Structure 1
């Protein structure tokens, strides 16, 4: 019994000493691993090139948690009759400086001759730094039946819109860069003379002329077209073109302008003023111009004169005015008999359907000359009476 008790105690002591070890190991496993290093990668390490054509291979240098690295780039395995160039920032380069936790992108352009052998070539790209060399193997196959390289694709949401000459026609177009290389793409539009265009990114409000799009990425562009106010009713073509990185794509859009009347009121002799006499009717000839792109129909005329005044129209209702045509209306204004001399404003309106136009006509009132003669008579009579009284009572 004593032997068993000692053995049991020894086992229990050993278990207590060993128990913390798994816990410590578990704590260490929960700590995230820190990745450090320098890499050279490409999205497509195997590619096909038709003879005589140029293919661009995107190379990515990544520095993770290391001091700034200067990488000298070497390309091996390119056949002698091929043309190739290593570019960065649009210029030919042979080295790149990659800062800590940064990425630099280079482009390797490969151009086999037109009579290149239909075979697969092994090409190796090396990046030498002060701490070592990283390599990237490429398999380049020359084939006549190579699939066409991706390009630009434009997909309008609504390619045809309708509105009036006062409308802003807004198109949403998806621009897909189906190439392995990001780039800056220029935006342009082909519209009829006098039409204005502007471009915006997505649903933003800032106007742009170009748009950066990543490799195999898609962006949305808003194309706004504003026609002149005097645009005639009809359908008009709109061409939207995106170009960049040697690629060009065009989307054919269209807009339909529906007619809209626009009436302008012009006073006599192109003035909005005239003279009238208190208590008497005076006729003024007004002109209604339809400057819109559709007939103006059932135009009713009305006025708001001062209290006690009367305004009549001949005619009061204009049946129709064709686009770019005009019609004359007699506006008959009768000031109040009690109106004193001075300037008065008469509001003249033309309304019907979508048309609503108003002008202020200044009417200068002149009082009748009979009132002046009567006033002079009263004054003369008063003078005679006063003179007679002086002569009669002055003798006493």
Structure 2
């Protein structure tokens, strides 16, 4: 009787232990995923519609060492897209080295531009060829709010000068968004104007700026040579996939500087004699639409020549006006008969004009007559000698 009771008790204990074991197995199932840890550094981030994201994927645990790991997407919200990438290739299986927290791949995800605000989950799966596996859930909170408003700032937006002058503007682009942005540059400059963008001394058409960073951009604006005087506004834009930044540059054209230098009769040649002064009347014309100031006259002549002006500096010459100036040219005593070049230049307000003269140096008439008389006397003497002694 006693043995029967003990047997009954024994089976009861076994039954209870078996029940407890089943309960433990049901509550804490043994999963193959315990062989390694599959994770990313930022499993929950805030994004905006249209963002493109990249997540580094890591495997940690010795059970994955030296094995091939298959990667797949378990679930993806409607409209979202993504793929696994290693180096420059899209992949579906990678090799795990097992060296610490091994970065096995990246997951490239794109949020649709029409995504509404809310929380979305992407579930990824990693399975080793030795039977271990693990899921990774990435949580994306889509919001239309940015971290901050980016800006396109110009330090001195108002500049003035004459046509043909290049205007340089120092600007700064600040990317206050949560993502790196690639900004493309453009402008609405009038026809004939040129607008160039440069950064770090190199001309650029676009610039990549990291989140929270800024970059200096120099904008050079050059109007046409003879643009009309007046005020001009040029809109410059820096556009990325998500932003449209703009800034206005103001240019005030004061007018066009231009001058012409010639003679009253238009002739650019004259005769001269060695060591004898000759004069030529110059005509300086302001052919621009703004007054010329402090015009200086200079010359370039053969060595030993002297050139002077009755007025070497003209204080002011109004637009459309002309002024006559007499130039005094004296060839040097060593000047031989022939043609020479003398250049006269006028400069003022960063403008210049030149006139190139051909100066023909001639022998003075008095010496010519004297030379003819000498020749006649010599010829006569020779004739007399030959007549006297020729008959002998």
TM over 0.5, shorter chain = yes
Alignment of 1:64-143 (within 5 A): 71-76=71-76, 78=77, 83-86=79-82, 101=103, 104=106, 106-110=108-112, 121=119, 123-131=120-128, 132-138=133-139, 140=141
DSSP 3-state at the match of 1:45: strand
Is 1:320 the counterpart of 2:322? The answer is: no
- Scaled by the length of structure 1, the TM-score of the pair is 0.66
Given the alignment, which residue of 168, 182, 185 partners 1:184?
Answer: 182
The C-alpha deviation readout for 1:210-269, integer Å capped at 9, x for no partner, is 112234443332222233344455443221101121421111122344567454434677
DSSP 3-state at the match of 2:374: helix
Q: How far does residue 386 in structure 1 lie from its aligned partner after superposition?
A: 2.1
The C-alpha deviation readout for 1:262-292, integer Å capped at 9, x for no partner, is 5443467777554334566544443424465
Alignment of 1:114-263 (within 5 A): 121=119, 123-131=120-128, 132-138=133-139, 140=141, 147=145, 152-163=150-161, 165=163, 167-201=165-199, 204-231=200-227, 234-257=230-253, 261-263=257-259
**CA 1:363–1:135 in structure 2 vs 1: closer, same or farther (change >3 Å)?**
same
Is 1:39 the counterpart of 2:31? The answer is: no
The C-alpha deviation readout for 1:115-159, integer Å capped at 9, x for no partner, is x8x9x65x32122233333423426478xxx64686642122333
- Contact kept in structure 1, 2:37 and 2:134, CA below 8 Å: no
DSSP 3-state at the match of 1:175: strand
- Contact kept in structure 2, 1:84 and 1:111, CA below 8 Å: no
Gaps of 5+ in 1: 1-35
**CA 1:329–1:256 in structure 2 vs 1: closer, same or farther (change >3 Å)?**
same
Is 1:265 the counterpart of 2:266? The answer is: no
Q: How many residues were matched structurally?
A: 339
Gaps of 5+ in 2: 1-35, 96-101
- Scaled by the length of structure 2, the TM-score of the pair is 0.66
Q: How far does residue 392 in structure 1 lie from its aligned partner after superposition?
A: 3.2
CA distance in 2 between counterparts of 1:85 and 1:280 reads: 93
The C-alpha deviation readout for 1:160-188, integer Å capped at 9, x for no partner, is 33455565433232223333333432111
Q: How far does residue 56 in structure 1 lie from its aligned partner after superposition?
A: 3.2
Task: Indicate the residue corresponding to 1:387 in structure 2.
Answer: 383
